[in-house]
Structure 1
Amino acid sequence: MISLYRPGTGILHRRSAGAKLGLLAALALCVSVLPLGTTGTAILVAAVSSLYVVGGLGWRLLAESWWRLRWLIIVLAGALWIFVGLDEAVRNAGRVVALILLVALVTRTTRMGDLLDVLQRLLRPLRVFRLDPETAALAISLTIAMVPVLAGFLNQVRDAQRARGVRLGPRAALPLLVLTLRHADDVGDALAARGLAR
């Protein structure tokens, strides 16, 4: 299985997968629900960014994460600025960036196997409704891992288009779709090789 885990001994690496997943869920709910102003959004994004350094991942990985998000930020914030104004653009784009950085932080500091174990335990009571906890846990963990992967694909597409002198636009959707489908095939092959998919 494709994993974004980076080995380390920082404070976040030492926390359990369950604690990190619970914190991610709580923070995602707060970020989505709380009415943050422009200043509050800036503080939120700065706080999430600081977790990379405090958690032992370092400035380099933080800079790399921001660099991968640059075109998403420009396109999203630009579109929101045009349609709803600057304040709303900053608030909503800031929320999205904070959530993506948080998800990437969890996937970088948590082994996929540990994440799967926690999700399976949480989903076991749903067997009453004929839900297979192993399959559901795998789907959720793959979804979480795909957020930073898709940001990386968008970065690759933008770099390729810039090298050809093409501006990022609707045409970027096709190569992004091809990269995503190719990645899905690779993940499917990896799962099938381990007997987890057919």
Structure 2
Amino acid sequence: MISLTSPVETRAHRWPAGAKLAALCIATMALFALDSVAGQGAAFAVMLALYAAPGAVFLRSGVARLRMLWPFLAVIVIWHLATATPAQGAVIALRLVTAVGLANLVTMTTRLSDMVDVVRWLAAPLRRVGLNTRALELGIALVIRFTPKLAAKGAALGQAWRARSSRRPGWRIVLPFTLIALDDAEHVADALKARGGI
């Protein structure tokens, strides 16, 4: 779900990373305070408007990342239809899409190095008591960097399966996807060791 920085330059690219992350935290808390479908729908509309403001290319790029939420949304909808609580399901589904969309918006308009700087600043009190925070900073950077890469590889694996079989891939691609993720992790670990580790 997390995007790399968007190639489309926006005004938000020049805003401080700390301010954007703080606004994201506040917006997420506000989403959890809203319990009505109308309120969540309004928040969803605001999120879409933020994507649309820089132009159609930015909007398409951002919304394309949200398509990966459909399995989670399907489970939510089916469960709440089965339990006869469709309004509650709509609130949860809209909250999920809006929260992930806002987080994706922040990563699309923020350089990875700026986000790591914010984490380093937040972890400063831990360094004062003697804790090494480099692992935390590196871990967050790796999650932000590799999540979209792994998602793209998973999508490519699914397409490769569909090109060779009429059946849906389902659980059958879990093992090869796991092996791909482990292989990537091993290469990253080797690269870190070659550079002195953490």
TM-score, scaled relative to structure 2: 0.76
**Where does residue 94 of structure 1 map in the other structure?**
94
Work out the number of aligned pairs and report it. Answer: 194
Change in 2 beyond 3 A, CA 1:88/1:145: farther
AA partner of residue 181 (structure 1): L
**Where does residue 48 of structure 2 map in the other structure?**
49
AA partner of residue 10 (structure 1): T
Shift of 1:160: 4.7
- Which stretch shifts more, 75-84 or 36-45? 75-84
AA partner of residue 43 (structure 2): L
Task: Determine if contact 1:49/1:62 at 8 Å carries over to the other structure.
Answer: no
Change in 2 beyond 3 A, CA 1:80/1:146: farther
Unaligned runs of 5+ in 2: none
TM-score, scaled relative to structure 1: 0.76
Shift of 1:115: 0.9
**Where does residue 135 of structure 1 map in the other structure?**
135
Higher relative contact order (CA 8 A, sep 6+): 2
| SS of match in other structure, 1:42 | helix
Task: Determine if contact 1:13/1:55 at 8 Å carries over to the other structure.
Answer: no
AA partner of residue 99 (structure 2): L
Task: Determine if contact 1:69/1:155 at 8 Å carries over to the other structure.
Answer: no
Change in 2 beyond 3 A, CA 1:63/1:121: closer
Matches of 1:126 and 1:106, distance apart in 2: 25
Shift of 1:176: 4.3
Shift of 1:6: 2.3
**Where does residue 15 of structure 1 map in the other structure?**
15
Change in 2 beyond 3 A, CA 1:178/1:30: farther
Deviations 1:30-55 (A, max 9, x none): 22x31331222222222222222225
Rg comparison, structure with higher value: 2
Report matched runs for 1:1-198 at 5 Å: 4-31=4-31, 33-55=32-54, 58-83=58-83, 85-145=85-145, 148=148, 152=152, 155-156=155-156, 158-160=158-160, 162-163=162-163, 164-167=165-168, 169-171=170-172, 173-197=174-198
Shift of 1:158: 4.9
| SS of match in other structure, 1:9 | coil
Q: CA RMSD in A?
A: 3.1
Task: Determine if contact 1:44/1:98 at 8 Å carries over to the other structure.
Answer: yes
| Identical counterparts, % of pairs | 31
Task: Determine if contact 1:104/1:145 at 8 Å carries over to the other structure.
Answer: no
